[in-house]
Chain A
Amino acid sequence: MCLGIPGQIVEITDASRLLAMADVSGVRREVNIACVLEGEPESLVGCWTLIHVGFAMSLIDEEEAAKTLEALRSLGEAQETLEAMAQGDAALEASR
């Protein structure tokens, strides 16, 4: 549970709460960007980050992102994380 998954920041969704939309292996997920923010939130759009339980924890380059995703896929971790994201979405749906 302590592995991060690479995702690309595609949009700032709520600057006041430091939330951004990330693309994680084709799945969109809102993440908190507090830990990687230097300067304006908008400057992060397009950046690759290592995302752990919904928080962007570290900036990484695109090549590192690709390598990490490949390793996580081999470990089955990428799938596990995507399933956990889907579970989180389902838990939220149940609260509507």
Chain B
Amino acid sequence: MRYVEEFRDPVAAKSILAAIEKVVDEIGATAEKPVYIMEICGGHTHAIFRYGLDRLTPAGLEFIHGPGCPVCVLPMSRIDECVEIAERPEVIFTTFGDAMRVPGSRKSLLQAKADGADIRMVYSPLDALEIARRTPDREVVFFGLGFETTTPSTALSIQQAARENLANFTVFCNHITVPPPIKVLLDDPSMVLDGFVGPGHVSMVIGTHPYDFIAADYGKPIVVAGFEPLDLLQSVLMVLEQIRDGRAEVENQYARVVPEEGNSVSLAAIADVYEPRPRFEWRGLGEIDASGLRIRDAYQSFDAEIRFKVGYGAGERSVQEPEGCACGQVMTGRVKPHQCPHYGTTCTPEMPLGALMVSSEGACAAYYQYGAMEAAE
């Protein structure tokens, strides 16, 4: 109960926790035979550890931390391509700060910056656009990264750049989508998953219908959740109640922010600027069909892959991940972070070897930061 006093409403938290315990009992789940619930969003992973929800909930409930952190699932090859672009003398490379420490096979963006590349951390693609306006003699590249929450912002920025005929602005597009990797996990016969907590802010953009297949085709419940501890606990309870009642539905706990149909402006911008790539590589999960987005031909003058001749179609890309790195197995729930041979020794948040240690939303970093290793043993 270490963190329970931090809840804004401890009474409500306790009553939801009691209800969770009761439903876990009714399902007959135990520590030996638990119910497995995957939270897809890295923000949820971070919140679960920050508030100690994994310790507050009963032993018959186990969280599996899914592939929902875009920084964590970036393969090394894409970082290598970022570095390759950023090291060109004419380039100003702009990126969200989260991506700076992700290891590449040669170096991270942080190391490339230290070595002299002009790499600037921005808060928004709007900052990158403004840098492009101010420095017309340089090539300004924005590292477009993230799930559907972030995708509209780069789409709208590219549309704006097109309206202004900005000739020195391109996006290195690494946007990825949530549903395809979930399908891959559900198709994997070795995965044991009983239900999902769905990503709140991704759903704010895409709505709840893209998850219909989880309930309809796979018979698994999913509840879209907000980010407060009470949101998460209530969503877990809703998933458990579906399991107990033999239901599989898409429910929306976060209806105050998430419209069922999503955000029409965002969806229109995404559809206008991007199209699915035939395949895209995910760290730890391999290549997944139609899981990444590329910039449509109509906007190809804003595509850094075309301007700098990198990325898919530019030759052999595969890069070996570090030997023994268990990021992929952690993301699919096969091992816990502390069971990786590198965990806490050759891989720490200060010197990450694998991607799950880079961002606070990665399961390994969350384990490390909140000392979950001891709790797990």
Contact = CB atoms under 8 A, between A and B. Distances in A.
B188 interface: no
B46 A75 contact: yes
Contacts of B263: 35, 57-58
Nearest to B361: A1
Contact size class for A? 35 or more
B152 A35 contact: yes
Contacts of B257: 50, 58, 60, 64
Nearest to B256: A64
Contacts of A84: 96-97, 121, 123
B98 A37 contact: no
Interface string B106-131: 00000000000000111111110011
A88 interface: yes
A61 to B, nearest CB: 8
Q: Which of A32, A50, A89, A94 has the most CB of B within 10 A?
A: A32
A88 B121 contact: yes
B204 A58 contact: yes
B155 to A, nearest CB: 10
B135 interface: yes
Nearest to A29: B123
A87 B97 CA distance: 8
Contact of A53 (B43, B50, B150): B150
Nearest to B269: A34
Contact of A87 (B41, B122, B147, B153): B122
B86 interface: no
Contacts of B47: 71, 75
A88 B123 contact: yes
B60 to A, nearest CB: 27
Contact of B127 (A50, A54, A96): A54
Contact of A57 (B120, B131, B147, B205): B205
A36 B43 CA distance: 23
B125 A95 contact: no
Contacts of A19: 126
Interface in A35-50: 35-37, 50
Nearest to B8: A70
A89 B130 CA distance: 11
Given A32-B156, A85-B123, A95-B134, A1 B227 contact: no
A66 to B, nearest CB: 10
Interface of B: 6, 8, 41-43, 46-47, 50-51, 68-71, 92, 94, 96-98, 120-127, 130-131, 134-135, 145-147, 149-150, 152-153, 156, 160, 199, 201-202, 204-205, 227-229, 256-257, 263, 265-266, 269, 359-361
Interface of A: 1-4, 17, 19, 29-32, 34-37, 50, 52-55, 57-58, 60-61, 64, 67-68, 70-72, 74-77, 81, 83-85, 87-89, 91-92, 94-96
Given A60-B257, A95-B135, 16 more contacts: A1-B150, A2-B361, A4-B201, A17-B160, A36-B265, A50-B257, A57-B204, A64-B257, A71-B229, A74-B6, A75-B47, A84-B121, A87-B121, A87-B123, A91-B121, A91-B122
